[in-house]
Structure 1
Amino acid sequence: MSAIDLRSKPSAPADLDAVSQAFSRLGGGGANPGAVRAFLAQAFEDYSADETPQIDSEDFACLLVEGWRAAEAQAPQAAPTITVGPLTGAEGRAVGYDLVRIVQADAPFLVDSVLGELAEAGVSVRALFHPVVEMGEDRRLSVILLVLDPVTQERRDSLGEGLAATLADVHQAVADHPAMLDLMRRSIAELEAGAPVAEAAVVAENVAFLRWLKSDHFVFLGARDYDYPRAVDGDYEAEAPLSQSGEGLGVLRDAERRVLRRGNEPAVLTRQMRRQMDLSEPVTVAKANLRSRVHRRAYMDYIGIKKYGPDGRASGETRFVGLFTAEAYDHVAAEVPLIRRKVANVLARADKAPGSHNEKRLRNILDNYPRDELFQITEDELLSIALGVLHLYDRPRIRIFTRPDPFDRFVSVLCFIPRERFDAAVRQRIGQILARAWGGRVSAWYPQLSEAPLVRVHYIIGVTPGDHPTPDMQQVEADVTEAGRGWVERFETALRRDGVQEVEVGPLSARWARAFGAAYRDRYDAAEAAIDLEALARVGEGEASLAVRAFRHADDSPLQFRFKLYRRGRRCRCRTSCRSWRTWG
């Protein structure tokens, strides 16, 4: 019988007494009965009968016995023991699920990191049990048991490898956490001792930010020291390799992991980095190229702290990577060092009357501005965009605001869309337009929906540094605006552009606009629909009821040629279509 057949027969819900008795009967237990009781009680706290209805008390006890035995067998200081395979119940019967069992020394971030790996692999988790037990001799073990929908053996092998890599990152970050805090303290002390190129108030704000990070507002995952390459004349060498002045910590123990460059490129002092080094403050906040496998799946935040040499110029930097904590995002902007100064200066430069409608709305815009953007954006950029958004709220329409990454790795785009026009299709069309404009890809998008008349979508468009087009922003704005209009509006506009008289647009739209189905609209734009309608109008009756259009798109290669077949009345058979193609050679 198949696993599906087995899972179609729910079992009686498990209860703790029955599970405990079955656990003992199946050989569970040992010299530490207190640890066994704690193990069973914690596991049962996570039990819910409706998650795995085919697993009864005997099956659940069998699962826990295997978990307990694995914990007893785990050697001190050993790497995590990971098992992925079919779940068997009492008497070895298949229950139609897979099991992931992970035994390791207890540490922070284990469960959320494991769940992040499973989610990225597209695996459905049915149940999770996570007892943490004291095994004596100051050994505290985490036993993670996950019941999954069954997967193929190839996916099981891939899951095991992914979980091993994820947990290696977790344990490296946790093991080196004290060393990373020491390195941060040293960086703060060096900065306080003097940053020759910065004003005292600027240095004080930068130091306050670093202290704020240490106060549970940043999850430190890796750190590394770099020295900037210098030429014989003392100037910086652009595109020269950066030298590591010490061993990396946490996830940056691996010298091949790049923070600001792609994985297949060496760590060098790029022209963009050199420009940023000359213009920026002692502390730089940006997004790293590395995605975190620890705690939550996201691009890590990069904190760069300059080191200064005897000549008063930056001689290198200490790089930290990690994630801002949830508490860091909960604070209003006016409470967060580094960005509070930007916000205060923007409000002062905007010069809106205190207490006025515009001043209150501008404050609201700044308070709700994407927090990651506030850390990375310059004061001038923030002022320009915030005033643009303020103006937009009184005249709701589709509008985009862009900010290029100073290291030329991505473009950040804030897109505002009237709420009544926003849907998933509009969001997707706009993302495609932006990616095409910069010759890149939509790396991420973050929507913000509220009671405000405008929906905000924050797009991150990944690009190849130094090898991407600079688009005509007026054309991009026009394309985005067009993408946000409804199909009927776009169809009518396309008819006008094709020279249809105004008096004919309404009747044609009423008859034909909605005749183009959802599948057609997903594949073709309204301009193509207008062309197709014109072609259909030329198709006659009888022998003349069939027509072919040959065309190319602007981005097609010389080897590409497209055809469309038009026919009135009944559908065209494949044999008829082939005869039509033969007439074209």
Structure 2
Amino acid sequence: MVDSREYREYWDKFHAFVQANKSGDTAEAFAQFCDQLVSPHERVELSERNYTDLYGNLLALWRLYTGSSKEQTQIKVFNPELEHHAWQSKHTVVHIVCRDRPFLVDSVRMLVNSKNLTLHHIIHQRMPIYSASAATNKPSKPDHVSVILLELDKEASLDNLSVLKSEIESRVNDVAYVVDDWKPMRSTLQTIIDGIQSATKKDQYPLLDDELAFLSWLTQDNFTFMGYRYYSFCREDKKDVIVQHESSSLGLMKMSQGNSTVRNLETLSEGAHNWLHGDENLLITKCNKHSTVHRPVPLDYIGIKDRDDSGKVIGEHRFIGLYTHTAYNTTPRAIPLIREKIKQIFKHANVAEGTHDGRALDNILETLPRDELFQLTSADLGSTSLDILHMQERPIVRLFIHAERFARYFSCTVYVPRDRYHTRLRLKMQKILEKELCASTPASFNTRFSDSILARTHFLVEVDGASNASVDVKALEKRLADCARSWGDRASNALIEHYGESEGRRLLAKYRDAFQTGYREETTPQQSIVDIAHLEELSDSTPMSLMLYRGLDAAEFEAGFKVFIKDQPISLSLVVPLLENFGLVVKGERPYKVSCDGLVAWIHDFHVQHVDQLEFTPERVKKKFHQAFLATWNAEAESDGFNFLILAANLSWQEVSLIRAYARYLKQIKFAFSQPYIEKCLSAYPDVSSMLIALFHSRHDPDNRSKSKEKKLSEEINQYLEQQVESLDDDIILRRYVDLV
């Protein structure tokens, strides 16, 4: 970011650049266009750009602007290149010039976000456009157009650029349908209200006053009207049908003209039938279509029954749109219908207003998702709000589910302790709800934080056939609660279960905050119990503990090897050569620092595999391997290629030292082969090494001396050498070892 003096200098130089490349009135007009289009705040960001590229970008937009009229929509989507445009951009550039209307920028930005494209820069300005009078050839009073410049992630495909242009044009048209018909739609609703209020209609509509008050409230800038159509109910071919009247269509409803205009009433959902034949005059719900204008949420649906003079339902006035921000932010008690629901809830709950519970219940109703207040019955709303009241601000997970009356979606409200809430948790909960409720599309959500210790997320899960009876809410709530439990919670339970109440709580107090985030993400609480046991072994006299183990997904020749060490981390340059001499290749290492109760320790978790992909069982070899590693680390044993036999032949480090001693003796008596060559030979035949050690014990161990066993081993070794060893050098080395033993 540059300071104001620097950006003013940049903009002055840009003006000079314009004058140098254009002349006369054209230069002046273009400069004025740039000054009007680019606000001082935007100039700060643009001042880091190359003059030529900025000039080319704004010039292309100016040409689109000067070639437009008020009623035209001009859209250009392209990738500027020096070769073709004399300027360039690392992004895809979108230029839009169209009649100025509300919601344009919001709607285009929604489209960009829905395509997972990053919006790198946006400029929008309402600009005057003049048309000359035919009689006087003088400019008339200016109209205004919206001039929009977008820079998005670069899209290389020409086909995708063409699709993007078409989609932007469609969004601009959607905005035009909505804005141009907004007043006619509001007037239509007012006409409906006036008609119902007429003397001939009053007796036909039960619950009239509150419903009419709600409809009037909608017209007071509390609802953004986006579509309207009238539907009539009649009989055709001995069937009850619903007929859409295309001529009545306004706003977005015009876009569906030409679709099937007649639908059999028998195909409607059970909820639709219940409303059609019930006493309710209003239907307040959501559409199964998301808005393409203003906000990317499901459209709100207001249905109004139309009755004849006898009170029979003969049709429906259907409005779609979005409640405005005013509707969402005003107190529920100021909204007709909702305020009546609140009165009923307090009455049936036997809670007095002004009391502690009354104020708490009032706050719950004030802060519940507003769509719930609009759509739920007073009974369902009361049950949910009282359950929330009885949570008493406890740090627990609760789930409230309601199926939409037309079985098109579930409304799921989830409460989670605020200190546990994070995006990953929300995504996990969303996936669980989508899977268990058989979502047809990804769920939409809205999260609210307040002074409460609980965070609330409201999910809208669209489905094909929603029913409260088909959902085990308690089981689903338990799954969400398990999902919301932190690593520390699960580790606490695991420690107490493994060690018992007393010792488990002691270890919990000691290690509660000992492990860092990386460890928690990579290690399960159950695995941490084993690690804690090793950490407990560390002391000044025992500064190191080891664990060779096999992971769940590891192959038979792979293993994990953990080194627990006190005070300081170990150097990889020291450990890796040691492991390589054991025949292990280090494929990865993750170090974790542990700090607790005065203890500082490190856990080095190595992922190793045998160099020859030799299969080995950690349970069988780990004792000898651990002893050998410690002896080598403490310089009690040597680290060389003979250590390969510890895993390959399951020998102890003392037995390997014996084989090494024979090699040193061979060197002293001028044996022809070097130690590395001997190491390679014995590593190639680990079975022979095992038999040599067994032969040594049968000959020289007083407790295990056995002539018969010695003879049998000698015969087995000789047979093995004759059948398995092809190399003459290897045969000489192995037979010399037999002779020495």
| TM-score (normalizing by structure 2) | 0.62
User: 1:464 maps to what in 2?
Assistant: 464
Letter of the structure 1 residue corresponding to residue 37 of structure 2: A
**Deviation of the 1:70 alpha carbon:** 1.6
The answer to which of 295-304 and 376-385 deviates more is 295-304
Please give the residue correspondences for 1:137-216 in structure 2 after superposition, counting only pairs within 5 Å: 139-148=143-152, 150-154=154-158, 155-193=160-198, 194=201, 198-199=205-206, 202-216=207-221
Q: Is the 8 A contact 2:69 2:129 kept in 1?
A: no
Sort the Cα spacing of 1:40 and 1:310 in 2 relative to 1 into closer, same or farther, 3 A: same
Sort the Cα spacing of 1:16 and 1:483 in 2 relative to 1 into closer, same or farther, 3 A: closer
CA displacement, residues 330-377 of structure 1 (integer Å, 9 cap, x when unaligned): 211111122122122222332323421111111111111211211111
User: 1:473 maps to what in 2?
Assistant: 473
User: 1:252 maps to what in 2?
Assistant: 253
Please give the residue correspondences for 1:414-563 in structure 2 after superposition, counting only pairs within 5 Å: 414-440=413-439, 443-465=443-465, 470-493=470-493
Seq. identity, %: 25
CA distance in 2, matches of 1:418, 1:18: 56
**Deviation of the 1:249 alpha carbon:** 1.8
Secondary structure of 2:443's aligned partner: strand
CA distance in 2, matches of 1:353, 1:465: 39
Q: Is the 8 A contact 1:546 1:565 kept in 2?
A: no
**Deviation of the 1:101 alpha carbon:** 0.8
Q: Is the 8 A contact 2:7 2:44 kept in 1?
A: no
CA distance in 2, matches of 1:267, 1:322: 27
CA displacement, residues 539-582 of structure 1 (integer Å, 9 cap, x when unaligned): xxxxx9776879xxxxxxxxxxx99998453534388879699x
User: 2:100 maps to what in 1?
Assistant: 106
Within the candidate set 31, 37, 46, 1:43 is matched to 37
User: 2:411 maps to what in 1?
Assistant: 412
| TM-score (normalizing by structure 1) | 0.77
Sort the Cα spacing of 1:572 and 1:229 in 2 relative to 1 into closer, same or farther, 3 A: farther
Q: Is the 8 A contact 1:410 1:463 kept in 2?
A: yes
CA distance in 2, matches of 1:75, 1:267: 50
Sort the Cα spacing of 1:563 and 1:362 in 2 relative to 1 into closer, same or farther, 3 A: farther
User: 1:82 maps to what in 2?
Assistant: 76
User: 2:571 maps to what in 1?
Assistant: none
Letter of the structure 2 residue corresponding to residue 156 of structure 1: L
User: 1:334 maps to what in 2?
Assistant: 333
**Deviation of the 1:135 alpha carbon:** 1.6
CA distance in 1, matches of 2:281, 2:523: 50
Within the candidate set 109, 113, 118, 1:119 is matched to 113
Please give the residue correspondences for 1:15-94 in structure 2 after superposition, counting only pairs within 5 Å: 19=14, 22-23=17-18, 26-27=21-22, 39-45=33-39, 48-55=42-49, 59-75=53-69, 77-86=71-80, 92-94=86-88
User: 1:287 maps to what in 2?
Assistant: 286
CA displacement, residues 63-118 of structure 1 (integer Å, 9 cap, x when unaligned): 33332322232256334433333276999232544421111122222222222222
Sort the Cα spacing of 1:564 and 1:367 in 2 relative to 1 into closer, same or farther, 3 A: farther
Q: Higher helix proportion, which one?
A: 2
CA distance in 2, matches of 1:432, 1:125: 30
Is 1:573 the equivalent of 2:602?
no
Q: Is the 8 A contact 1:14 1:60 kept in 2?
A: no
CA distance in 2, matches of 1:198, 1:525: 62
CA distance in 2, matches of 1:83, 1:29: 30
Q: Is the 8 A contact 2:226 2:251 kept in 1?
A: yes
Which 5+ residue runs of structure 1 have no aligned equivalent? 1-10, 259-264, 534-543, 551-561
How many residues of Structure 1 are paired with residues of Structure 2 in the alignment?
Answer: 535
Q: Is the 8 A contact 2:548 2:560 kept in 1?
A: yes
Letter of the structure 2 residue corresponding to residue 357 of structure 1: H
Letter of the structure 2 residue corresponding to residue 573 of structure 1: Q
Sort the Cα spacing of 1:456 and 1:21 in 2 relative to 1 into closer, same or farther, 3 A: same
**Deviation of the 1:36 alpha carbon:** 6.5
CA distance in 2, matches of 1:24, 1:368: 58
CA distance in 1, matches of 2:274, 2:218: 26
RMSD over aligned Cα, in angstroms? 4.3
Sort the Cα spacing of 1:51 and 1:268 in 2 relative to 1 into closer, same or farther, 3 A: farther
User: 1:301 maps to what in 2?
Assistant: 300
Secondary structure of 2:102's aligned partner: coil
**Deviation of the 1:381 alpha carbon:** 0.9
The answer to which of 357-366 and 269-278 deviates more is 269-278
Secondary structure of 2:607's aligned partner: coil
CA distance in 2, matches of 1:49, 1:59: 14
Secondary structure of 1:245's aligned partner: strand
Which 5+ residue runs of structure 2 have no aligned equivalent? 1-5, 133-141, 532-546, 562-605, 618-741
CA distance in 2, matches of 1:88, 1:139: 35
Q: Is the 8 A contact 2:64 2:74 kept in 1?
A: no
CA distance in 2, matches of 1:500, 1:563: 31
Letter of the structure 2 residue corresponding to residue 463 of structure 1: V
**Deviation of the 1:266 alpha carbon:** 12
Within the candidate set 195, 215, 227, 2:232 is matched to 227
User: 2:641 maps to what in 1?
Assistant: none
The answer to which of 404-413 and 267-276 deviates more is 267-276
